[in-house]
């Protein structure tokens, strides 16, 4: 399974009120699925983001796309 190709599309907004820079960046992601996931993650706490990153690393390790982060320091990878 190949990872989706993600490109950021330049888009200029003219608004009197400053926009959330993270939301503005998320809107510029061209891959709809990645854009949707990014928008869902906006506003999460740092602890929640760390948990999601940890789960993602473990899933990628299970797929064989990444060394297992829990055993990498032990030399099993």
pLDDT in tens, the chain (77 residues): 566 666 655 554 544 445 688 888 888 999 999 889 888 888 899 999 999 989 988 888 888 876 666 666 655 55
pLDDT of res. 64: 80
pTM (two decimals): 0.50
Q: Is residue 51 part of a domain?
A: yes
Regarding whether 20 and 8 lie in a shared domain, the answer is yes
Sorted by sequence, the CB contacts under 8 Å of residue 77 that are 6+ apart come out as: 67, 68, 71
Regarding whether 36 and 55 lie in a shared domain, the answer is no
Domain with 14, as residue range(s), is: 1-41
How far, in whole angstroms, is CA 41 from its chain's centroid? Answer: 8
Residue 8 φ/ψ, nearest 5 degrees: -100, 125
Regarding whether 14 and 2 lie in a shared domain, the answer is yes
Q: Is residue 58 part of a domain?
A: yes
> What are the Cα distances from residue 42, in Å, to 12, 38, 45?
20, 7, 9
Tokens 């939301």 locate to 23
Q: Is residue 77 part of a domain?
A: no
Regarding whether 8 and 35 lie in a shared domain, the answer is yes
Q: Which two tokens stand for residue 71?
A: 């055993």
Q: Is residue 6 part of a domain?
A: yes
């Amino acid at each position: 399974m190949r990872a989706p190709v993600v490109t950021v599309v330049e888009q200029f907004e003219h608004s009197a009120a400053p926009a959330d820079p993270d939301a503005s960046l998320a809107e510029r992601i061209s891959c709809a699925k990645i854009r949707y996931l990014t928008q869902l993650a906006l506003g999460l706490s740092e602890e929640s983001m760390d948990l999601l990153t940890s789960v993602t690393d473990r899933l990628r390790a299970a797929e064989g796309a990444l060394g297992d982060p829990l055993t990498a320091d032990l030399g099993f990878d």
